[in-house]
Amino acid sequence: MLQSQSKQKVTIKGNKDGLTVHLDDRCAFEELIEELQEKMTEEGLPTGEGPEIHVNVDVGYRYIPPEDEHAVIQTIEQHGRIHVANVHSQVISKYEAEEQKKETEIAKVARIVRSGQVVHTKGDLLLLGDVNPGGTVEATGSIYVMGTLQGMARAGIEGRGDAYVAAGVMNPAQIMINESVYIAADENVEENGQSTNDVQESPCYAYINGKDIQFDKMRGFSTR
């Protein structure tokens, strides 16, 4: 009996949210699909009209490429009113690992960002220079401008609300953090796009407070 259970490649468990399907991560994929087909047929899931049954699939430490994931979903969803909500793996691809690494790194750029130029990075950006009026810096993480920020800075552009923008001299025309936006008032912007609002001569940073962007002085930040 114990030997039979150890060879089980597919386990289906019910819960308050629907079904969880656990797939063995050591057997051949073809064997897995074959047993998954059998198990789903044995379950006798309801067909016809009615609410969908949501299924979460756990493939353990098996890397599952898109074509294999599609095969798993197709095998499950052909049995009754079923929707696969999620296919979870403990393993990620090399590309995904590299993307995650970029998100945790600080990209160092030494230059002046002039009007019409855009500097874009994954993760945090450390700019050793100025952002002139009309120039733009953007990052998926936070932005540190060691010089003067007079153009536009867009941080957390892929949904990070905890990102912030710091500058040695803060005089931006626009700051965007995630979906929150600060724009210098029109009467405080010259024809060349340079902001003439109250300039923060000492290092400060901008962050989201509620839904608005707020500015505060920054300690321990040096422009040298």
Q: Where are the domains of the chain?
A: 2-88, 97-217
Domain 97-217 annotated CATH 3.40.50.300 = no
The share of the chain scoring above pLDDT 90, in percent, equals 54
**Helix/strand/coil for 64:** coil
- State the amino acid at position 161 in one-letter form: G
Against a cut of 0.75, is the pTM above it?
Answer: no
C-alpha to C-alpha distances, 88 to 29, 45, 65, 97, 107, nearest whole angstrom: 16, 22, 12, 16, 31
Q: How confident is the model at residue 224 (pLDDT cuts 50, 70, 90)?
A: very low
**Identical fold, 2-88 and 97-217:** no
- SS3 state of residue 177: strand
Q: What is the band of 3 on the pLDDT scale with cuts at 50, 70, 90?
A: very low
Q: What is the pLDDT of residue 186?
A: 60
Architecture of domain 2-88: 2-Layer Sandwich (3.30)
How do residues 78-135 score in pLDDT, each as one tens digit? 887 889 999 998 887 777 777 767 667 789 999 999 999 999 999 999 999 999 999 9
Q: What is the CA radius of gyration of the chain?
A: 26
Contact residues for 187 (Cβ-Cβ < 8 A; gap 6+): none
